[in-house]
Amino acid sequence: MKRKLIAAIGLAGMVVGVAACGSDKASDKAESTPKSITVWLTVDAQNNWPELVKQADAALKKAHPGVTVKHEYYAWGDKNTKFDAVLASDKAPDVIEMGNTEMLGYEIKGAFAELDASKFDNSSDWLDGLKASGEYAGKTYGVPYYAGARVAAWRTDIAKKAGVTTTPTTYTELTADLDKIQAKEGGKFSAWYQPSRDWYAAMSFVYDAGGAIATDSGGGKFTASLSSAEAVKGLTAWKTAIGKYMHGDLTKDESDRYIVFGQGKSAMIYGASWEGGAAADPKVDKTGGKLKTNLTQFVFPGPSGKNMPVFLGGSDLAVPVKSKAQDLAAEWINDFTGTAGQKVLIGKGNLPNNTTQLAPLKSVEATKATATAAESSWFIPAAAGWSNVEKAQILQDMLQSIATGKKTVAQAAADADTAIDKVINNS
């Protein structure tokens, strides 16, 4: 399937090349000028910031009278299936939204057109975690759209019962506070509810300690490095925290973490910024409304003494290589993700794609924690076979084996490295 896709993309490039060598007559140029572009976005844009879509459309139409913009909206679970189906045809969109972790696989296959980063607003200040997702082999293929950071959600009422009246700002303070809460609430309570299979949180400990999942060994080849001294140090700190404060099911992932938090059985979670608010929703909150009035967020402090580096969630916008209107598509993306567009997204509670517009949000109480957390981030290795690592759930299985005591940190890390090395460079 991958060979067919690459062949189709290669053939398309040849066709475009032949067309470019054709007649230079003015009439031919007029006929070849695109009259419309098709933009695929997820339903997030349709439901939450339709005014931004209209704003970008209007800007493109003003610059190019007569051009129309067509939109199609997809749920996250449906988008890539549809995209895969049209990639080898002439029905590919001109712009497509991709989750930042979805970019790499398509970049490796050659599905996206190269973009000139200098033509996009704030490109020199794009957030590192988002910028990395749109780059492959030294070239830019995606433009950051918006970001979401991971922070701690903290129950102030439970903390006060244990004699803790301030929000921790260092890892030493955090663990001391959690110790007090755990002692006060008892062994069936999770002072920190942290699902073991949440690899985003665990890998933050690894990067905080100076480690990495895998390192570039040259020529685009990656070597797993979880058994390095730095990575093992981070995993050990993570295991210690899990052992002391997590008294829930040690085989679970993070998908229902906000629901568990809403049940009132923990004092803290560390996850996506929306999770605390979701737990406080009356449909989820089983504490009698205590979450809504006793919840605060803070930047999670790392054992290193610095803010914990976070995995930034978010989206990128890319131009499929099969697009016949690549220049117009790039213009629309800039209209949508540029400075004016980011102001709209900020107003909707998102983090902007750049540090310039992020900076003022650090002094606003509602966005202080997430904006500060977003400044320090990490991203997945840009390896040809990274999707194989995720599909095999190597990291999740390693973490579960550590948390449950099935393996030592050193053994689990070594076994994970072996499994990763078998697939990480296989596209």
Instruction: Tell me the per-residue pLDDT of 304-325, one tens digit each, with 9 for 90 and over.
Output: 999 999 998 899 999 999 999 9
pLDDT of residue 32: 61
Q: What amino acid is encoded at 167 in this protein?
A: T
In a domain, 27, yes or no: no
Q: Would you say residue 303 lies in a domain?
A: yes
Burial per residue of 304-314, b for 16 or more beta-carbon CB atoms within 10 angstroms, e otherwise: beebbbbbbbb
Residues 320 and 226 in one domain: no
- Give the number of domains in the chain: 2
Length of the chain: 427
337 and 408 assigned to the same domain: no
Contact 149/293 with Cβ under 8 angstroms? no
Residues 74, 218: one domain? no
- State which H helix or E strand residue 19 sits in: helix 2-20
Return the CA Rg of the chain: 23
162 and 203 fall within a common domain? yes
Instruction: Take residue 203 and report the two structure tokens written for it.
Output: 């890998």
CA distances from 20 to 10, 113, 355 (A): 15, 16, 39
Cα 207 from Cα 51, distance rounded (Å): 38
C-beta atoms surrounding 418 within 10 Å: 12
**257 and 175 share one domain:** yes
Same domain, 135 and 183: no
131 and 265 co-located in one domain:
no
Residue 196 has φ and ψ, to the nearest 5°, of -65, -30
Q: Is the pLDDT of residue 10 over 80?
A: no
Average pLDDT value for residue range 338-345: 96
Distance CA 335, CA 232 (A): 44
Question: Does 359 fall in a domain?
Answer: yes
Alpha carbon 256 to its chain centroid, in Å, reads 18
Q: Note whether 79 and 158 are same-domain residues.
A: no
Q: How far apart are CA 276 and CA 278, in angstroms?
A: 5
Residue 22 has pLDDT above 60, yes or no: no
Residue 93 lies in a domain: yes
Mind listing the pLDDT tens digit for each residue in 27-66? 444 446 689 999 999 999 999 999 999 999 999 999 999 9
Instruction: Mark whether 253 and 138 lie in a shared domain.
Output: no
Whether 9 shows a pLDDT value over 50: the answer reads no
Q: Is residue 29, in this structure, part of any structural domain at all? A: no
Cβ-based neighbours of 46, under 8 Å, separated by 6 or more: 53, 71, 73
**Angle (CA) 191 196 199, round 5°:** 120
- Would you say residue 25 lies in a domain? no
Which CATH number characterizes residue 409's domain? 3.40.190.10
Residue 325 in any domain: the answer is yes
Q: Report the distance separating Cα 316 and Cα 133, nearest Å.
A: 8
Share of the chain above pLDDT 70, in %: 92
Residue 370 lies in a domain: yes
Q: How many other CB atoms are found less than 10 A from the CB of residue 80?
A: 16
Are 194 and 282 in the same domain?
A: yes
Domain that holds residue 356: 2-14+35-149+312-378
189, 227: one domain: yes
Residues 354 and 206 in one domain: no
Does residue 21 register a pLDDT over 70? Answer: no
* Neighbour count for residue 267 (Cβ, 10 Å): 29
pTM equals 0.83
Residue 427 pLDDT: 78
- Asked whether residue 17 carries a pLDDT value surpassing 80, the answer given is no
Tell me what pLDDT residue 7 has: 36
Question: Encoding tokens for residue 414?
Answer: 């070594």
